[in-house]
């Protein structure tokens, strides 16, 4: 189940499919590291993309593999950080 805005989900999927060119296009629940679609360098690129595209700052404590495991996981993190930003 995806708790992310559909637009965020589609944006991340398009970025990953375009930049990392998986053999089969990914879906929101595709295991990105397990399927060798992204690696540690790709995660750094994803952090930069998310921060720039969604106007967020990802704190160091959120740079964990489980937050980048799937697009769904990234979307949950984005939404959580947005809620946190709205509260400040």
- Tell me whether residue 21 is in a domain: yes
**What phi, psi does 18 have (nearest 5°)?**
-75, -40
Contact in structure between 3 and 79 (CB atoms under 8 Å)? yes
Number of neighbours of residue 52 by Cβ within 10 angstroms: 9
Contact in structure between 6 and 28 (CB atoms under 8 Å)? no
- Tell me whether residue 1 is in a domain: no
pLDDT in tens, the chain (88 residues): 344 677 889 999 999 999 999 999 999 999 999 999 999 999 999 999 999 999 999 999 999 999 999 999 999 999 999 987 665 5
**Domain region containing 50:** 6-86
SS3 9: helix
Query: What pLDDT does 84 receive?
Result: 77
Work out how many domains the chain is built from and give that number: 1
Inter-CA distances, 8 with 21, 34, 36, 65, Å = 19, 22, 22, 19
Query: What pLDDT does 7 receive?
Result: 84
Rg (CA), the chain: 12
- Tell me whether residue 70 is in a domain: yes
């Amino acid at each position: 189940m995806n708790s992310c805005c559909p637009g965020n989900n589609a944006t991340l999927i398009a970025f990953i499919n375009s930049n990392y060119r998986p053999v089969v296009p990914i879906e929101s629940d595709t295991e990105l590291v397990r399927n060798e679609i992204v690696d540690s360098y790709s995660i750094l690129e994803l952090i930069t993309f998310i921060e720039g595209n969604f106007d967020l700052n990802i704190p160091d404590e959120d740079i964990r593999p489980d937050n980048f495991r799937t697009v769904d996981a990234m979307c949950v993190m984005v939404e959580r950080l947005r809620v946190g930003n709205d509260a400040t």
